Amino acid sequence: MKKVYTVFTTEILHNVHIEVIKKAAELGELTVGIYSDNALEQLGRVPIMKQEQRVVVFGALQGVAHVVLQKEISYVKNLNTLKPDIVVRGNNWDNPRGSTLDFMQIRQEIIDTLAQWGGKLVEIPYTQIKTDEIISKISYNSYLPEVRRRKLNYLINSKPIVRIIEAHNGLTGLIAEHTNINVNGEDKNFHGMWVSSLCDSTAKGKPDIELVDHTSRLETIEQIMDITTKPIILDGDSGGQTGHFVHNIKTIERSGVSAIIIEDKIGLKANSLFGIAGGQEQDTIEGFQNKIAEGKKALTSKEFRMIARIESLILKKGLEDALTRAKAYIDAGVDGIMIHSNQKDPTEILAFCDKFAAFKTVPLVTVPTTYNTITEDELAKRGVNIVIYANHLIRAAFPAMQNTAISILKHGRSKEADDMLMSIKDVISLIPK
């Protein structure tokens, strides 16, 4: 019986690994080499299980006769000890990400060593599945920055439309995170949070003119991050001056935000819902393209999305201008387009969606604050990927709080306001210890 040797670095088993073992066992008596903890560390990995535990797992697999530790990345030492007739290996010889090792050189070493006693290397096509992708799915439930970031992309690719609601502090973050209902047998919730400049400014009693500074915006994000797990989309306003933006975007990326949306405005920013009355100026196409390109260069995460927001419809520049800008911003490298409108009905937004479809290569975002008769299903059918309910929690809270304050003033006591209020018992048990 021939002696067969194969080596695994993996700690997560999937169907391709089992196929490799099956094929290897058909060729003779199979010894599986398990990379030691130290060898895995050389590959930049932090072992999930101890090496002794991995030996037990592989030893229990059908077709495996023996398990040995391979203490080095190089196969040579174990090959010289075991003198196998055949080494079986998947043909994925790519270097582990970030490593300076040369796996093609390791392959050559195996071939040369085996040649000393007439052994040979059998390579099995290994293309269907990547263990890294499985690992990233396993960590899906974590709130850590990279995982939270990955979640938005997962949602864009798997949901008919991604449903986002504004949050401007920890409490509204909790509402966005935990509000669930069942509609006709379907569980519904919000997929993530929008940290709106309007709501973040309003909550701080400031106008929405980019007055609330970067540090203060980050503090709001941090509050929400602290008690939620869902993706966060940041309203980045105009992004500020390009020279500042390239620095600020790095901090924002590191904070764990999944995406930033920047709008093509310059000068003192006014809220879009003022329309042309806001006296707002739009950036030139080239100017905004440059901001996008410089911002993209500053980023390191592949999962982070920079989305460009087009203000042409708000500023009455027309559909053609909006479409020209969408094309230009995509050319500059954005990972999404947001089209905004302050019209009561969705006609101009839908016209944009239909024309955009002809060259759409990135997700489309809409904010139906004024044209709020349109449903998510209708938007999804027109190719919209993300819908943002941009200001609704703060708008709900303000009148409720004001009416309570008025009632107390009116009656000289708080009893009459009671029916409008959450009970003390509910407040103190709202947030678990």
Q: Strand locations in 109-215, DSSP E?
A: 120-124, 162-166, 180-183, 186-189, 192-195
Shortest separation between residue 336's beta carbon and ligand SPV, angstroms: 15
The DSSP 8-state label assigned to residue 241 in this structure reads -
**Site size toward ligand SPV, by CB under 6 A:** 12
Maximal CA-CA distance, the chain: 99
- Choose, by CB under 6 A, the member of 202, 228, 272, 280 that binds ligand SPV: 272
- Choose, by CB under 6 A, the member of 391, 393, 394, 407 that binds ligand SPV: 391
Shortest separation between residue 241's beta carbon and Mg ion, angstroms: 18
Distance CA(111)–CA(98), nearest Å, equals: 25
Q: Which of 208, 237, 283, 335 is catalytic?
A: 208
Residues 119-178 that bind Mg ion (CB under 5 A): none
Concerning whether 94 is annotated as a catalytic residue, the answer is no
Shortest separation between residue 45's beta carbon and ligand SPV, angstroms: 42
Of the CA atoms within 13 Å of residue 189, those in its CB half-sphere come to 14
Distance CA(395)–CA(401), nearest Å, equals: 10
The residue number with the shortest CB distance to ligand SPV is 196
Part of the chain binding Mg ion (CB under 5 A), chosen from 160-168, 209-217, 229-237, 410-418: 229-237
Beta pairing class for 192-195 and 66-70: unpaired
- Choose, by CB under 6 A, the member of 235, 253, 283, 348 that binds ligand SPV: 235
Distance CA(389)–CA(144), nearest Å, equals: 25
CB nearer to ligand SPV: give 113 or 366: 366
Residues 189-228 that bind ligand SPV (CB under 6 A): 196-198, 208
Residues present in the chain in total? 433
Part of the chain binding ligand SPV (CB under 6 A), chosen from 41-49, 175-183, 216-224, 271-279: 271-279
Residues 311-370 that bind ligand SPV (CB under 6 A): 367, 369
Residues 6 or more apart whose CB falls under 8 angstroms from that of 405 comprise none
Among 364, 242, 254, CA closest to 303 = 254
Which of the residues are catalytic?
208
Binding site for Mg ion (CB under 5 A): 197-198, 235
